[in-house]
Chain A
Amino acid sequence: MFSDVMVNSTPSDIAVDIRSVTKKFGERTIFGDVSLQVRQGEVVALIGPSGAGKSTLIRCVNCLTPFESGSIMVLGHELHGTNEAKRGPSREMLKSIRTETGMVFQSFNLFPHMSVVDNVALAPVLVLGTSREEAREQARELLCSIGLSHRVDAYPRHLSGGEQQRVAICRALAMKPSLMLFDEPTSALDPELVGEVLGAIRALVDRGMTMMLVTHEMMFARDVADTVAVMADGALVEIGPARQVLDDPQTDRCKSFLSRVLQQKAPSANTSAPSMGAQIAADAPTQEHEQARDTDRKRKHAEEVER
């Protein structure tokens, strides 16, 4: 999967540096003085109770939401709080940040009036200036590699949730981002469709993509994330290696959150189990995967021959 995804590297080793950021909606402080670093190639999972501000934090990173104070460095671009900077980021900087950053939303947000392939090809044409044919060809390859070759000309409303979310991932990847932001990519999905999306994310992790991932899938976070950050009560209450934070939380706030989540999960062990099972199934070589891998192999071979 994702043989085309190039993981660009910027000069600095730090992909995202969030320094003392405070975010308010009106008078209400959502979080205050939050700091978090994401290294190149690192996968940071952001967990925490509903309403803690996880979505808001990752939306600050690609400027979908302005923040009041502090600063965020994203792939070498500096963003400042509205209290400190007189004017917001320049149009060019905004475009660079958003071009180099891919975002996947909980509710997919595919463009309903465009076919799948056009959803994926739109931004490369409009923003990167790729030719229409080339963008569509690349879109097809991406869709193929994620097992959606048969859905290329369909409209989003005819796809299952899992398929829609995989298209949304392709749409973000089509811009060849070096940082991916996921906001609860599987929360809107039926349990049996969660696996295919997690499988696609895992494939990206395996290719070394830098990620910030908001999720309620604790097992998945434990599995793929390098770092887990727990957000609660307007702050990051614990940041550390994934397994350490999830298996042996240090702070009381984090302990109580995790125990509540695990309690909720426990009676429904039957429903979470299939999702992990489905994930394995998604990773298992289906016919499309095989084809995609085949073409991958061929392409790699061709590239090597060229060299």
Chain B
Amino acid sequence: MFAGILTLWGQYFGNFLGGLGISLEITVAGLAFALVAGAGFAALRLARFRVLRLIGTAYVEVVRATPMLLVLYIMYFGLGQVGIKLPAYWAAVIALGTFYAAQFTEIFRGGIQSVDRGQREAADALGLSRWQRLRKVVLPQAVMTILLPSTNALADIIKDSSLVITIGLSDLMARTYEATSATFEPMDMFLLAGVMYLVVYLLLSRVLGRLELNVQRRHG
């Protein structure tokens, strides 16, 4: 029986790997989107003007109240209905990006606010501009507080990328599903997918963990 699983896994491994490639592609593109938008919304949430702060807060609150699957459906089926037909791939990237932008907004804001007030005052008293203060004094100290939750968010994006099966993308989850109906061996197929997700997660957490250690060593 064990040999049976291995043969089956061997048969589908290449196919699954292709699916995993698509999952990771969507993940990386979605992450990039989320990081940029998250930085933007974090800037809004920390802005001097009330209106801007309100916009930032509203965005975070609304997105947080919305399930990821709903965001995905809005980007694909919803926008499709009102005439904005996005290819499934881009709908997936934009949905992941929009959804996780809210998480990164909070991660960035938290990191920046975790830096002691005295640090900002010292920078101000020396005559640094707001931008210089952010770049040279605040951000380098916020990195540590930002890194850990960012790693968690990235792990979540990979997992949530499996939702794209619902809009017809051929990611790892979709290929697993197809394989189960072809082989009538759902457990074996789901296990293989699980192992592949696990390997990706382990690699990721090792690499980012190493990065964290480096930053920690430098900043103490």
Contacts and interface: CB of A to CB of B under 8 A. Distances in A.
A62 B125 contact: yes
Interface string B115-149: 01011011011111100100011001100000000
Interface residues of A, number: 26
A111 B128 contact: no
A95 interface: yes
Contacts of B136: 122, 126
Contacts of B122: 103, 105, 109-111, 168, 171
Contacts of A98: 124-127
Contacts of B220: 112, 155, 157
Q: Which secondary structure dominates chain B's binding surface?
A: helix
B132 A126 contact: yes
A305 B16 CA distance: 81
B166 to A, nearest CB: 45
Contact of B128 (A91, A105, A113, A126): A126
Given A112-B219, A113-B218, A123 B121 contact: no
Contacts of B116: 109
A266 interface: no
A279 B39 CA distance: 49
Given A112-B141, A113-B141, A99 B127 contact: yes
B120 to A, nearest CB: 9
A113 B219 contact: yes
A109 B119 contact: yes
A83 to B, nearest CB: 19
Nearest to A102: B125
Contacts of B218: 113
A122 B129 CA distance: 12
Contacts of A197: none
A155 B220 CA distance: 9
A122 B124 CA distance: 12
Nearest to A96: B127
A175 interface: yes
A113 B124 CA distance: 17
Contact of B137 (A64, A111, A172): A111
A62 B121 CA distance: 11
A123 B128 contact: yes
Contacts of A107: 118
Contact of B121 (A95, A102, A109, A171): A109
Interface in A171-188: 171-172, 175
Identify the interface centre among A112, A127, A157, A172: most chain B CB within 10 Å of its CB: A112
Interface in A113-146: 113, 122-123, 126-127
B118 A127 contact: no
B125 A103 contact: yes
Contacts of B119: 109, 111
Interface in A153-167: 155, 157
A192 B127 CA distance: 32
Given A105-B118, A107-B118, A126-B132, A113 B140 contact: yes
Between B116, B122, B129, B218, the greatest number of chain A beta carbons within 10 A of the residue's beta carbon is seen for B122
A102 B121 CA distance: 12
A105 B219 contact: no
13 contacts: A98-B124, A98-B125, A98-B126, A99-B127, A103-B122, A105-B121, A122-B136, A123-B126, A123-B128, A126-B128, A126-B136, A171-B122, A172-B125
7 nearest A-B pairs in the assembled complex, by CB-CB distance: A109-B122, A123-B126, A98-B127, A103-B125, A109-B118, A127-B127, A99-B127
